[in-house]
């Protein structure tokens, strides 16, 4: 959305992490506008979980949604400390975009809380709902079985078009899940391709828009394996975007040219591990983003990345 007024902190990889002020839009020496109260900011924390993904949404009225939690170990090592540092003592929603280990492995650890014992007062069980893509999967890994052991009593299947009220006018909408889109279109999936079935969420607050979709595929062929293009229809639905959470850690399977040209993001955040074995993010994707004049932020270079918006302007900086 090019009409927004971005406050992009363009920082080099060597910069020290900083914590943005609670209200980056307040004018010094003046009375704050009603929309500029710290309580009226939407905050998006892209938590550094190495080669994996975890995003925390904090709505303008304090509602919270955790989207994925990295691989096993990162729930304790990264996500719980992030919640503590932010003073978060509850989660309204948990969303598992899909069942790959680097997205769901840490979720059970988060839910069990700092003492890592389920059923005690420090648990982070969601107060509203736990969303995932349901049981249509061929996953049978130990990580997935452990996820089910914890999640099963609380989980619901996400459906396209679901909208979650993050408070103060902010929302999260399911755009795609299991190949089904919020406008009624459907793409039949490869039965053994987990990434094609990812949940894609559009986050909106005022004029600000952010899209995140786990490892959702865009038709690329990493390793010679052809994926289906799930991104292009999603792009047609969500339209112009301010910030894109790049799919699949910058793999060549995602972030296709048509999708980028449809959503025209100003900035992109890539959750990726330093010196990972997959070559993420790929030069192909980085070049595609740069050729579209997209400013790139990477967790492997900057650590946890925070986005704050009052619905008219936004700021991106490492925490």
How do residues 281-312 score in pLDDT, each as one tens digit? 999 999 999 999 999 999 999 999 999 999 99
Where are the chain's structural domains? 5-10+39-318
Q: Which two tokens stand for residue 280?
A: 């993420």
Q: What is the DSSP letter of 26?
A: P
Which CATH number among 3.60.15.10, 3.20.20.80, 1.10.1760.20, 1.10.260.40 corresponds to the domain 5-10+39-318? 3.60.15.10
pLDDT value, residue 17: 28
pTM (predicted TM-score): 0.90
Least confident residue range of 13-22, 158-167, 288-297: 13-22
For a pLDDT cut of 90, what percent of the chain falls above it?
82
Say what the alpha-carbon torsion angle 94, 100, 106, 107 is, to the nearest 10 degrees: 20
pLDDT value, residue 25: 53
First vs last C-alpha separation in the chain: 24
pLDDT digits (tens, 9 = 90+) for 42-88: 999 999 999 999 999 999 999 999 999 999 999 999 999 999 999 99
| d(C-alpha 109, C-alpha 118), whole Å | 9
Q: What is the DSSP letter of 30?
A: S
Q: Is pLDDT at 23 greater than 70 in this prediction?
A: no
Chain centroid, CA 27 distance in Å: 30
| d(C-alpha 237, C-alpha 175), whole Å | 8
């Amino acid at each position: 959305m090019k009409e927004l007024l971005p406050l992009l902190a363009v920082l080099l990889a060597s910069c020290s992490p900083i914590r943005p002020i609670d209200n980056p839009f307040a004018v010094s020496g003046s009375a704050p506008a009603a929309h500029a109260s710290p309580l009226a900011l939407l905050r998006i924390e892209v938590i550094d979980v190495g080669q994996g993904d975890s995003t925390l949404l904090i709505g303008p009225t304090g509602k919270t949604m955790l989207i994925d939690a990295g691989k096993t170990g990162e729930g304790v090592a990264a996500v719980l400390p992030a919640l503590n540092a932010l003073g978060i003592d509850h989660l309204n929603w948990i969303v598992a975009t899909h069942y790959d280990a680097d997205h769901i492995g840490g979720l059970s650890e988060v839910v069990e809380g700092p003492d890592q014992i389920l059923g005690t007062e420090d648990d982070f069980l969601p107060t509203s709902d736990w969303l995932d893509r349901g049981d249509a999967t061929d996953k049978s890994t130990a990580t997935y079985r452990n996820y089910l052991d914890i999640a099963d009593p609380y989980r619901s299947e996400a459906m396209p078009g679901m909208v979650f009220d993050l408070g103060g006018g902010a929302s999260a909408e399911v755009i795609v899940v299991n190949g089904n889109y919020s406008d009624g279109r459907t793409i039949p999936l490869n039965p053994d391709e987990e990434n094609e079935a990812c949940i894609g969420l559009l986050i909106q607050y005022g004029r600000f828009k952010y899209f995140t979709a786990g490892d959702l595929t865009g038709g690329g062929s990493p390793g010679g394996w052809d994926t289906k293009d799930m991104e292009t229809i999603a792009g047609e639905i969500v339209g112009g975007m301010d910030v894109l959470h790049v799919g699949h850690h910058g793999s060549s399977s995602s972030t296709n040219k048509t999708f980028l040209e449809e959503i025209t993001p100003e900035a992109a955040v890539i959750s990726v591990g330093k010196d990972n074995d997959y070559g993420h993010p790929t030069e192909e994707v980085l070049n595609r983003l740069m050729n579209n004049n997209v400013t790139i932020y990477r967790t492997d270079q900057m650590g946890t990345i925070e986005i704050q918006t009052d619905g008219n302007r936004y700021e991106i900086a490492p925490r």
